[in-house]
Amino acid sequence: MITLMQKFMRRLFGNFFKKKKDIKMGLYGPPNGGKTTLANQVCKDWLGEEMGSVSNVAHETREIQIKEQLTIKSNGKELSFNLVDTPGIATKIDYEDFLKVGMKDGEAKARAKEATKGVVNAIKWLDDMDVVIVVLDSTKDPFTQVNITIVGNLQARDIPVLLVANKIDLKKSDIKRIQTAFPQYDVVGISAKCGNNMDEFYEALFKISR
Amino acid sequence: MLTLQFMPYDEIANLVSNKRISKVLNIVKGNNILLLEGRLRKEEEAELIKRTMEEIDEDFKGIELGVIYPDEKKNPDFFNKIKSNMINLLLGDRRGFTIMGPATIVREIKQDPNKIQLFTNTNFKL
């Protein structure tokens, strides 16, 4: 009950004093869904520069990265926010998985350690988000407990959510599976890598950030 | 040998969140598969992931987790929503069940609203 009261007071007074440009828009999701690729695409579209490095090896993003005061425009409207790219949320991290992709023992252990800290920080930051984009790989089964926990926690915190079905350029992509798993949310299919359907994505951002 | 440990919700019903998480995590860290009646709160599930990450080392690689939960109506009416929230608040969420195992034993838990499939690691022998 106390938590509920704290949440209510924070949202009431937090939003009252918050300027529009202080909106924190978080990118959340499991590892390798394409969060940083999407952050890069957004930054390229509106700032002409990338935000972070991407890799096929999971847990490339191990620290919270913020691009401040990003402004996007669509149909004569403007939306300013701080874009927060978070490490992928996972329930397990095994340094031996990194050995399998050719990393040396020390490097693999260090990456695993950093990745665990990244997940902890991503979860801690949930409370600070005003809007969250959950980035899911549309070629994979969306019905995992990590996805359900992320979405459930955003719902419990009353944070507006946009689900992005990424990688629609791939043959195995299936947006409907994501819509079926999370019928209460809008789902936008994009390819962050190829820049496909970004206009619809920006439109959806305006819709949920109102 | 693989141990499947059942935990009735009553065992965690009166514990504060921190202790609930410690209790289930300790069972899983003991190389057991836990079958919990009901589920943790949503915030506790996130906290469980956080605590799991903090405890990962060379022996403990994390957990696999799945929750089977009765299919809720997509748009429950106001009365049913209030009723369901009140029951959860007073009695805890005893509906459905949670299955949880160490990642060294459980490779993957596949789930849909009505069934759970648990895949063990190939190097793990029953």
CATH of residue A53's domain is 3.40.50.300
Mark yes or no for CB contact B49/A146 under 8 Å.
Answer: yes
Residue A9, classified by CB atoms within 10 Å of its CB into exposed (0-12), middle (13-18) or buried (19+), is exposed
Mark yes or no for CB contact B53/A124 under 8 Å.
Answer: no
Tokens, residue A64: 């919270």
Comparing alpha-carbon positions, the chain B residue that sits nearest to A140 is B110
Cα–Cα distance between B44 and B52 in angstroms, integer? 12
Q: Is residue A3 part of a domain?
A: no
pLDDT band at B13 (very low <50, low <70, confident <90, very high): very high
The residue-averaged pLDDT of B54-60 equals 92
Q: What is the pLDDT of residues A104-137, one digit of tens each?
A: 999 999 989 999 999 999 999 999 999 999 999 9
Q: ipTM of this complex > 0.90?
A: no
Count how many domains chain A has.
1
Which of B50, B103, B110 is opposite residue A92, by nearest beta carbon? B103
Domain ranges, ordered by start, for chain B: 3-120
Q: List CB contacts of A42: < 8 A, sequence separation 6 or more.
A: A51, A70, A72, A83
pLDDT at residue A3 is higher than 80:
no
Closest-CA distance, A201 to chain B, in angstroms, reads 24
Q: Is residue A52 part of a domain?
A: yes
Q: Is residue A82 part of a domain?
A: yes
Q: What is the pLDDT of residues A129-185, one digit of tens each?
A: 999 999 999 999 999 999 999 999 999 999 999 999 999 999 999 999 999 999 999
B66 contacts in chain A (CB < 8 Å): 145
Q: Is residue A33 part of a domain?
A: yes
Strand-strand pairing, B32-37 and B3-7:
parallel
Average pLDDT over chain A reads 88
For tokens 């019905």, the residue is A143
pLDDT band at A10 (very low <50, low <70, confident <90, very high): low
Which of A152, A183, A184 is opposite residue B45, by nearest beta carbon? A152
Residue A17: the pLDDT is: 47
| Interface residue of B24, B36, B56, B60 to substitute, partner A, most A CBs within 10 Å | B56
- Which residue range is the domain that position A156 belongs to? 28-209
Quick check: B121 and B106 in contact, CB under 8 A? yes
Q: Reduce the DSSP state of residue B82 to 3 states and report it.
A: helix
Cα–Cα distance between A55 and A42 in angstroms, integer? 18
Q: Percent of chain A having pLDDT more than 90?
A: 68
| Interface residue of A3, A4, A92 to substitute, partner B, most B CBs within 10 Å | A92
Give chain B's contact residues with A (Cβ, < 8 Å): 42-43, 45-47, 49-50, 52-54, 56, 58, 61-67, 74, 103, 109-112
Residue A8: the pLDDT is: 58
